[in-house]
Structure formats: structure tokens, C-alpha cells
Amino acid sequence: MRLIESNTFCTSLVKSNLLFVWDTIYYVYMATRTEIKLTVHSRDNRDLPPTHATITKVEWDKAERTKNALRTFGIMFAFTFASVFIPILHFILVPTLFIASFVVAMEKMGEKVRNDGGTGECPKCHQTFKVQASKWGTRITNSCDSCPEELEMNLPPA
């Protein structure tokens, strides 16, 4: 099972860039996903009637966070070890990946909830816009994809 996951991970790594790798590390593992409805306000035109957006809330409990952090550390440590065999580049790759293994694992351990993005309706042009994924805070700010409107959505407490 673990081997299959690692193989899938390797294939995605070859195909994609570092940002994709980061996303894979974040989302491939155990989590509870809930759809959440938010109210969309315009930051530029406060008097516009608000519309709605739906986002996915990703939550990890302590056991899931621990397992995910250990697995992430394992995978990144394997890459650290593999990079030992790449000539010249290993001077940079080995220390960078070694430190990154701890940093990413600690980050995964600490993050309990995250906004995985979604879609909403713009209060001004009424077109659908994409809500960017982000850390869970008090609000999300996002611009509309179809017009220059700056939008704001308040997040419920995590």
C-alpha cells in the first residue's frame, strides 16, 4: 500500500513542479472534507447585495496529523537520501531537503484546518469565480476572474 502511494508520488513528481509537490504532500493524506457556504462581499462596492460561495474545509485530527507528518517526513527523507547520488547538485540538495523534511513535517503537524478553495458568484458581474486555497484565517480575499472587483468572504472559526 505504502509502495503504491510512493510510486504515484514519484510519477507526479517527475511530471510536475515544486508547487504541485507541495500540494500533493498536503492533500494526498487522510483528512475530513466539508463543504462550507460563505457570503461574498465586494470590497470596492460595499452597497452591492452579497452573493454566495462554496469552499471545501479540510480538517485533520491529531492522529491524522501525526501519521501525515511521519509519512511526509519519510517521503522527503527518501528524496534526501536519493539526492546524495546526484553529482554536484547534492551539495545543495542534501542539506536543503534534509532541513525541508523537518520543516514540512512540523508544518503538517501544526495545521489543523485549511481552506481547499471552491467557487462563488461575484456580487458585481454575477459570473462564477474561483476561490483560491489558503490557510484558515478570519477572512479570504480574492479577486473576481471576470471583472476587476476585489471580493471578501468571512470564514467561521476553525
**Of 13, 36, 109, 125, which one interacts with Zn ion (CB under 5 A)?**
125
In the complex with Zn ion, which residue's Cβ is closer, 148 or 156? 148
CB 120 within 8 Å of CB 129: yes
Site for Zn ion in 130-149 (CB under 5 A): 144, 146-147, 149
Any idea which residue has 537520501 for its cell?
81
Nearest-approach distance from CB 19 to Zn ion, in angstroms: 26
DSSP 88-112: TTHHHHHHHHHHHHHHHHHHHHH--
Centre a 10 Å sphere on the Cβ of residue 15 and count the other Cβ atoms it contains.
Answer: 8
Give yes or no for residue 122 binding Zn ion (CB under 5 A).
yes
Nearest-approach distance from CB 131 to Zn ion, in angstroms: 13
In the complex with Zn ion, which residue's Cβ is closer, 10 or 125? 125
CB 124 within 8 Å of CB 132: no
Q: Which cell is 11 given?
A: 510519477
- Which DSSP letter does residue 7 get? H
Interaction pattern, residues 81-120, with Zn ion; x per rule: CB under 5 A:
----------------------------------------
3-state DSSP helix/strand/coil percent for the chain, to nearest 5?
A: 40, 30, 30
User: Which segment (3-11, 31-39, 65-73, 123-131) binds Zn ion by CB under 5 A?
Assistant: 123-131
In the complex with Zn ion, which residue's Cβ is closer, 71 or 123? 123
Nearest-approach distance from CB 154 to Zn ion, in angstroms: 19
Residue 127 and residue 148: Cα distance in Å, rounded? 12
In the complex with Zn ion, which residue's Cβ is closer, 51 or 101? 51
* Chain residues in the site for Zn ion (CB under 5 A): 122, 124-125, 144, 146-147, 149
